[in-house]
Amino acid sequence: MVSSKSGQSLLGLWLAITAIAFWGLLPVVSKGVLDKVDAYTLNFYRFVAATLILSLYLVLKKGPVISVQLRAKDLVLLLFAVVGLLANHIMFMDALQHIPAGTSQIIIQLGPIALVVLSVLLLGESFSRIQWMGTLLFITGLILFFNNRLPEIIDASSDYAFGILYMTGAALIWIFYGLGQKLLSGRISPVFLLLCCYSLGMLVLFPVAELNIVWQLNQVQLWLLLASCFTSLIAYVCFGESITRWEASKSSALLAFIPLATLCYENLFSLLLPDYIFAETLNWLSLVGAVLVVIGCLIVANPEKVVSSLSAETK
């Protein structure tokens, strides 16, 4: 019995790592094709792929997608969650056209941090001293990461500054999804929530998507488009399976490492596909800042784990 439980936990760990690997890859491969395919068309193809695969996944799982009878309040929360995630996906890809992939994942971490703060304000959840420390580390990390471009961002007149502002909006609007999912937990399956988002997104973007653009792509661009369609989908499924086999708090904690994975991918693919993907040159302060952003996210999202780890170290 112990051996079986240990095996499930190990599988859950590897599924979580796989999810991080694919989520970290998403902005890199997407960035490589966004100069040819606009953000709306790219998202349309992503939503089509996600709708088909998630529908099949739910059929194979054979579990209930709605566990209780939904109230009017639940339907409103469902709508907010769907619209929030849909807007987040569209704005993310749009903003990605203006900033590097690694930078996008640093900025998008504002979403989970803001969700924790909003949960404190609206749901009365506690915010400990160590979480304040994590928030301070996160803000310090952001300042250090953008140390050599702060004047450009403050001036707010460049394409880069617009991308930063737009990506910040994408991160903050994700709160609607995060809060909705949090309040609907135990009532609606998270996978079904994603399916609602992607199927609606497919319908919304169909009129503006340039479907014929795929015939104008070369082989590399087609592979990048396919990778963009399936990376986040594989990540969501792996993460969903991970939290059924491993502690959800531990799986969620690992998500803070996604920006570091993206920065690594960005530098690797800029060497493998220099005509399609480039890596922003970062100084040592920027790298320290990226690490502090990750540490700050870990502390804010999982203060109990941090406290227990520190307690164990002092014994």
The pLDDT tens digits for 172-220 are 998 888 888 777 777 777 778 888 888 988 999 999 999 999 999 999 9
Q: Please tell me the predicted confidence (pLDDT) of residue 137.
A: 92
Read off the pLDDT band of 67 (50, 70, 90).
low
The pLDDT tens digits for 98-149 are 999 999 999 998 888 887 777 777 767 677 788 888 889 999 999 999 998 8
- Taking all residues of the chain, what is their mean pLDDT, rounded to a whole number? 84
**Structure-model confidence comparison of residues 280 and 220, the more confident one:** 220
Measure Cα distances from 93 to 10, 34, 88, 292 in Å. 33, 8, 9, 25
Q: Which of 23-37, 54-68, 82-96 has the lowest mean pLDDT?
A: 54-68
pTM (predicted TM-score): 0.86
Read off the pLDDT band of 248 (50, 70, 90).
low
Average pLDDT over residues 90-95: 92
Residue extents of the structural domains in the chain: 2-314
Q: Does 2 have pLDDT greater than 50?
A: no
Q: Please tell me the predicted confidence (pLDDT) of residue 312.
A: 46
Q: Please tell me the predicted confidence (pLDDT) of residue 1.
A: 45
Q: Does 310 have pLDDT greater than 60?
A: no
Q: Please tell me the predicted confidence (pLDDT) of residue 232.
A: 82
Q: Please tell me the predicted confidence (pLDDT) of residue 236.
A: 79
Q: Which of 4-13, 27-36, 216-225, 258-267 has the lowest mean pLDDT?
A: 4-13
Please give the distance of CA 45 from its chain centroid, rounded to a whole number. Answer: 18
Q: Does 25 have pLDDT greater than 90?
A: yes
Of the spans 3-12, 24-33, 178-187, which averages the highest pLDDT?
24-33
**Structure-model confidence comparison of residues 314 and 87, the more confident one:** 87
Q: How many residues does the chain have?
A: 315
Q: Please tell me the predicted confidence (pLDDT) of residue 4.
A: 65
Q: Please tell me the predicted confidence (pLDDT) of residue 249.
A: 62
